[in-house]
Amino acid sequence: MNLSNGNRNIDKYLKKDSVIIRPMKVLDLDDVLRIERESYVEPWLRDHFLYELQTSRISKTMVLEIEGKIAGYVGLWLLHPEIHVTNMTVSTVYRKQGLGTKLMDYVMNLALESKFKVITLEVRHNNDAALALYRKFGFEIRGIRKNYYAAEKADALIMSRTMR
Ligand SMILES: CC(C)(COP(=O)(O)OP(=O)(O)OC[C@H]1O[C@@H](n2cnc3c(N)ncnc32)[C@H](O)[C@@H]1OP(=O)(O)O)[C@@H](O)C(=O)NCCC(=O)NCCS
């Protein structure tokens, strides 16, 4: 079945083992960059992802696949005792179907298993979808970076979630 046209029966895939979260590979980058471009005014470029995948010693970058098709990804910096979320993206056709929640579940489990104390991130102040996702996982606003997203003249909210 073709899921790429916004199929709303995604629940049945979430219940099966057809959703997997695995490390991002260089070969994934064409798909990832397409999702990145459809999602952000200032998308990350190939070099940025290559740095995270090949050079950085603190990065962990995972993709979420549904039946072999990349539907989203999450970028992390592991700065023990802190996890910083650098990127959290779901492809437009797959949004509002619980995949962002799946990716955040992954981050929470990683934090618990590896005994991280806090998860931090920045989010555009008017990004309702992301704010809803982060609030659902207990993130709270800790501060503001004025004009952080300069191209959009938008402020960033600094959010964090303490692990207990
Ligand atoms: C933010 C994003 C990752 C959420 O992914 P998603 O797969 O749609 O998230 P989910 O379906 O798991 O939804 C998570 C919660 O947010 C809510 N939500 C999702 N989209 C929403 C929207 N547009 N407005 C309000 N709430 C929304 C859902 O209702 C859900 O809450 P619930 O479980 O209580 O119903 C996705 O919208 C995205 O990729 N946006 C573009 C990139 C981006 O801005 N990333 C964040 C950078 S900080």
Say which residue, 154 or 151, is predicted with more confidence: 154
User: Residue 1: is its pLDDT beyond 50?
Assistant: no
Q: Rounded distance, CA 111 to CA 117, Å?
A: 7
What number does the ligand 1 atom closest to the CA of 104 have? 12
Give the distance (Å) from ligand 1 centre to CA of residue 35: 15
140 is catalytic: no
* CATH number of the 10-162 domain: 3.40.630.30
Instruction: Yes or no: say if 148 and 122 are a contact pair by the CB < 8 Å rule.
Output: yes
Quote the pLDDT of residue 13: 60
122 is catalytic: yes
Secondary structure letter of residue 51 according to DSSP: I
Q: Is the CB of 47 under 6 A from ligand 1?
A: no
Tokens encoding 45 = 């470029």
Judge if the beta carbon of residue 37 lies within 6 A of ligand 1: no
Question: 132 CB less than 6 Å from ligand 1?
Answer: yes
Q: What percent of the chain has pLDDT over 90?
A: 85
Cross-strand bridge partners of residue 107: none
Q: Is it the case that residue 30 has pLDDT exceeding 80?
A: yes
Strands 69-79 and 82-90, bridge-based pairing: antiparallel
For residue 12, pLDDT beyond 60: no
**100 and 90 in contact (C-beta within 8 Å)?**
yes
Closest CA to 36 of 83, 98, 99, 91: 91
Instruction: From 93, 133, 155, give the residue whose CB has the most ligand 1 atoms within 8 Å, as the site to mutate.
Output: 133
When mean pLDDT is compared across 10-19, 30-39, 65-74, the lowest value belongs to: 10-19
Q: Which atom of ligand 1 is nearest to the CA of 94?
A: 7
pTM recorded for the entire structure: 0.93
Of 11-15, 57-61, 67-71, the least confident = 11-15
Interval 75-134: pLDDT, tens: 999 999 999 999 999 999 999 999 999 999 999 999 999 999 999 999 999 999 999 999
pLDDT score for 2: 39
